Structure 1
Amino acid sequence: MRKIIAVTMILVAGLLAVNAQEPTTPEAKPNKNAPVITFTELVHDYGTIKQGSDGNFDFQFKNSGKDPLIVNNVKSSCGCTVAEYTKDPVAKNKTGVVKVRYNTNNIGSFVKTVTIYSNATNNPVVLTIKGTVEQAAQQQAN
């Protein structure tokens, strides 16, 4: 009787082990023609700037792939940073731009991100802006 129980348990354990294995599926081959978005820089440091000064910066990018690159969406980390971007498809070896504007009315240090979503193989890409805004000098009345 013990032999029957032992053999049954071994068979059940073997069946469970066989069923637990994941089926093997062939891996998808990467698209050799897929677009690749390449930025000239990923981080821009404004340094120390005055309150109310120009908080604009243009991040330039290139399509290093073969198929057209399409930027689908751009999201900034907060409402103090606004981004505009090239909406037309960017052909092979052509360039586009993500224009970032930081609200320099906010005093103090800042680090903000802008995330770029596209059809590129290296999607998404995160751009960073940083710096310090110091209070503008007060004008004295004569």
Structure 2
Amino acid sequence: MKKTLFLLMLLFLGVTYASAEKQAEITFDKTSHDFGTFSEDHPKVRCVFTFTNTGDAPLVIFQAVASCGCTIPDYTREPIMPGKKGTIEVTYNGTGKYPGEFKKSISVRSNAKLELVRLYIKGQMTPKTTKTANN
């Protein structure tokens, strides 16, 4: 009885270990984006971060959270199969913000080997152009 229980436990541990080897892996084409200089007249800018599942199990993004409310990430919701690509589109909205330089981060949580990845955006918003009245 003890031998059977021991063998069953070894079998369970072996199966668990073998299944744990398969894991998703997230690889981004880039982890930062510089918007450069843009005007407060057009305060919304967007960029796309593309990633590939370089692992051997389906990749699931659980959440993508920005460091502030002026930055909105939108990401691929369905599982990404091994070898396939997904995207995280990031929109920065400078409406109501002071002109100047900014740097924001987006924390991406997934089931990949590296569970947390940070993406960064930066840029410089210049003041609105003022129109003068001709008298």
Whether 1:80 and 2:70 are equivalent positions in the alignment is yes
**How big is the shift at 1:48?**
1.1
Q: Which has the larger radius of gyration?
A: 1
1:93 partnered with 2:75: no
Q: Does 2:92 correspond to 1:102? A: yes
CA distance in 1, matches of 2:45, 2:21: 38
TM-score, length of structure 2 as denominator length? 0.78
Q: How does 1:1-142 map to 2 (within 5 A)?
A: 31-51=20-40, 52-105=42-95, 106=97, 107-142=99-134
Cα shift at 1:47: 1.1
Deviations 1:53-95 (A, max 9, x none): 4411111111000100000011110111111100000001100
In structure 1, distance between residues paired with 2:123 and 2:131: 24
Ranges in structure 2 where 5+ consecutive residues have no aligned partner: 1-15
Distance 2:131 2:28 in 1: 41
Taking the aligned partners of 2:21 and 2:93, their CA distance within structure 1 comes to: 40
CA distance in 2, matches of 1:29, 1:93: 23
| Corresponding residue SS for 1:69 | coil
Counting aligned pairs with the same residue, the percent is 34
TM-score (norm 1): 0.75
Deviation, 1:29, is 6.3
Deviation at 1:137, TM superposition (A): 1.1
- Gap change, CA 1:80 and 1:53, over 3 Å in 2: closer
